[in-house]
């Protein structure tokens, strides 16, 4: 008999539907090597590209560890979308893992779920924001009784000063086995590595504190010496310290993926919008080294908004901040140049599915107005049920256009099943992780298309140009680190 999962009823019904068409799990050779790596090392990190099967490999490790009595229960920390739309269905889709019982700690009934846990619920799923709740009371950890920790998409924990990392740090020693899963461990720079590696080894390799790590491998620079640049030779030393704990597998070496193409759509701002933009940018540049940082950041945010076509006219903190943003904020429309360019692409594709990355709520409003209909969108305003419905329709080829915010759908989602060929960035992200991961939701194993095109809508002579250059630079740094991890594995004789 399959276990009784502690999940919402609607999800349980879908899991039963997936069970009906379940297959035997037959790992690819590279998955077998990743599984061996996990079983032989704890802690360890799997730096696997999207599509290489991190989730199913981890489930296979759970199954073996449970059988050998090396583990009792795993706490899996994952973003909301993978927590509901990936892990439960991986358990259901493979016959080998259907005896693994799952429980989801999310929503208003988290305490009730904890009290209902039974030995057959070997996997407990929680989102990063839920950790503060879980660790707030000792009795909750006692009820959880997890001895294994998995951080899915560990780049979500790259910042050492966040509530989620601080909450987790105090509890790490409770877990006998700790794993991190990600394809983008250093989306910005080497500073992003410290917290993720601390989860594995509690500071043994890179130091007990982020300040020690910075002082050892970096030097201060920039405005008021608040930025950090890596010292000569430090990258090689960090690579050497980190490499024994991680396994890097590159999708390009193991899978036949669609060819990656890129097309830049250059957009010129109309004269009135250009004047508005130049006034704000001039103020930004003139105050960059004299005004408080918050003023410069606010001016830059306005420049980003104008590049897209609209600008918020109130003084509430802009989107991308840690504060909630009202969808009802007053907006001034300055131009429709980007929207017009996107509509041209939509018409050009003649019904081919187009996934569009957006950043601001006014991006969604502007695109929907141009389309004359309520285009499906996955962002912070989308309910879990709506997102699941949109994903299902997208994968069945029933949507020719879908909007998505990279922070809401850039990790864990499978959007390749209808073999879509076009991913557009209407809004150019600052974060390389968002930029890279959203594209990889489509360009991954299972997509039968011959290519996947990345379309970038760049407003000329605006901050968009700088952001694109910065993303390219970060991409090179990320690849250099991942290649170093791969080469180290080969040098030590570990066949990959």
User: DSSP of 306-365, one letter per residue?
Assistant: HHHTEEE-S-SPPTTSSS---TT--EEE---HHHHHHHHHHHHHTT--EEEE--SHHHHH
Q: Where is the domain boundary, 255, 274, 294?
A: 255
The answer to the question of residue 485 being in a domain is no
Beta-bridged to residue 124, according to DSSP, are 75, 103
**Based on the domain organization, do 265 and 243 belong to the same domain?**
no
pLDDT at 144: 95
Residues in the chain: 496
The pLDDT score that the predictor gives to residue 312 is 86
- Is 334 within a domain? yes
In a shared domain, residues 270 and 193: no
**What's the confidence (pLDDT) of residue 321?**
43
Q: Rounded mean pLDDT of the chain? A: 87
Helix residue spans in 180-289 (DSSP H) = 193-201, 210-217, 234-242, 251-254, 271-287
Residue 494's SS3 state is: coil
Q: Is the pLDDT of residue 329 over 80?
A: no
Whether 30 is covered by a domain: the verdict is yes
**Mean predicted confidence (pLDDT) in 153-181:** 92
277 class by beta-carbon count within 10 Å (0-12 exposed, 13-18 middle, 19+ buried): buried
* pLDDT value for 382: 87
Residue 113's pLDDT band, with cuts at 50, 70 and 90, is very high
Residues 281 and 430 in one domain: yes
Percent above pLDDT 90 for the chain: 57
Predicted confidence at residue 486, as pLDDT, reads 79
Q: Which regions of 391-444 does DSSP assign to beta strands (E)?
A: 401-404, 422-425
What confidence tens digit (pLDDT) does each residue in 392-450 have? 899 888 999 999 998 876 566 778 888 889 999 999 998 888 898 889 888 887 788 88
> Does residue 473 belong to any structural domain of this protein?
no
Sheet with 422-425: strands ordered across: 259-267, 451-459, 422-425, 354-357, 401-404, 377-378
- Domain boundary at 255, 275, 297, which? 255
Residue 184 lies in a domain: yes
- Specify whether 276 is located in the same domain as 385: yes
Report residue 288's pLDDT band, with 50, 70 and 90 as the boundaries: very low
Is 130 within the bounds of a domain? yes
Residue 318 has pLDDT above 50, yes or no: no
Residue 305 included in any domain: yes
The average pLDDT across 60-71 equals 96
Q: Is residue 91 within 8 Å of residue 121, measured between CB atoms? A: no
Say whether pLDDT at 481 is over 70.
yes
Residue recorded with tokens 């170093």? 484
If asked whether residues 56 and 24 sit together in one domain, one would say yes
> What pLDDT is stored for residue 416 in this prediction?
82
Q: What is the pLDDT of residue 284?
A: 64
Over its C-alpha atoms, the chain yields an Rg (Å, rounded) of 23
**Pairwise CA distance, residues 455 & 343, whole Å:** 13
Range(s) of the domain holding residue 309: 259-461
Q: Indicate the number of domains in the chain.
A: 2
Closest CA to 51 of 416, 479, 449, 323: 416
In a domain, 492, yes or no: no
Amino acid 491: pLDDT = 67
Residue 335 · residue 269 · CB < 8 Å: yes
**Residue 239 and residue 376 in one domain:** no
We report the CATH number of the domain holding residue 40 as 3.40.50.10810
Tokens read off for 66: 């449970």
Calculated CA dihedral for residues 444, 445, 451, 455, nearest 10 degrees: -10
CA distance 361 to 404: 11
CA within 13 Å, CB half, 488? 19
């Amino acid at each position: 008999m399959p276990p009784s999962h502690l999940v919402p009823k609607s999800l349980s019904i879908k899991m039963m539907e997936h069970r009906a068409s379940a297959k035997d799990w037959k790992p690819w050779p590279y998955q077998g090597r990743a599984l061996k790596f996990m079983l032989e090392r704890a802690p360890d990190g799997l730096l696997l590209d999207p599509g290489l099967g991190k989730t199913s490999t981890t489930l296979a490790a759970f199954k073996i560890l449970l059988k050998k009595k090396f583990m009792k229960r795993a706490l899996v920390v994952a973003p909301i979308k993978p927590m509901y739309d990936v892990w439960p269905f991986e358990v259901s889709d493979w016959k080998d893992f259907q005896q693994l019982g799952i429980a989801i700690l999310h929503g208003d009934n988290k305490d009730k779920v904890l009290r209902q846990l039974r030995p057959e619920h070997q996997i407990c799923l929680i989102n990063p924001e839920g950790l503060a709740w879980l660790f707030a009371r000792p009795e909750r950890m006692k009820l959880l009784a997890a001895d294994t920790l998995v951080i899915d998409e560990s780049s979500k924990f790259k910042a050492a000063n966040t509530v989620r990392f601080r909450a987790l740090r105090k509890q790490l020693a409770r877990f006998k086995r700790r794993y991190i899963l990600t394809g983008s461990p250093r989306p910005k720079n080497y500073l992003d590595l410290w917290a993720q590696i601390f989860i594995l080894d509690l500071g043994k390799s890179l130091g007990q504190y982020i300040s020690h790590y910075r002082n050892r491998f970096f030097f201060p620079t920039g405005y008021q010496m608040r930025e950090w640049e890596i010292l000569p030779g430090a990258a090689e030393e960090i690579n050497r310290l980190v490499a024994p704990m991680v396994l890097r597998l590159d999708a390009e070496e193991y899978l036949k993926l669609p060819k990656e193409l890129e097309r830049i759509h250059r957009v010129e701002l109309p004269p009135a919008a250009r004047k508005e933009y130049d006034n704000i940018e001039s103020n930004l540049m003139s105050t960059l080294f004299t005004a408080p940082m918050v003023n410069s950041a606010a001016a830059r945010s306005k420049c980003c908004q104008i590049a897209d076509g609209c600008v918020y006219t109130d003084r509430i903190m802009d989107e991308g901040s840690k504060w909630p943003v009202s969808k009802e904020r007053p907006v001034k429309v300055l131009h429709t140049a980007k929207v017009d360019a996107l509509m041209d692409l939509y018409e050009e594709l003649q019904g081919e599915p187009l996934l569009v990355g957006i950043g601001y709520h006014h991006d969604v409003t502007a695109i929907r107005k141009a389309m004359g209909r309520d285009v499906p969108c996955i962002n912070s305003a989308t309910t879990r049920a709506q997102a699941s419905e949109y994903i299902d329709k997208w994968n069945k080829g029933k949507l020719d256009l879908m909007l998505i915010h990279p922070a809401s759908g850039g990790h864990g989602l499978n959007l390749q099943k209808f073999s879509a060929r076009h991913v557009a960035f209407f809004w150019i992200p600052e974060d390389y992780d968002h930029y890279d991961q959203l594209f990889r939701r489509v360009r991954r194993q299972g997509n039968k298309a011959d290519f996947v095109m990345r379309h970038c809508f760049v407003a000329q002579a605006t901050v968009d140009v700088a952001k694109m250059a910065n993303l390219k630079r970060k991409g090179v740094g990320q690849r250099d680190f991942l290649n170093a991890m791969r080469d180290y594995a080969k040098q030590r004789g570990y066949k990959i």
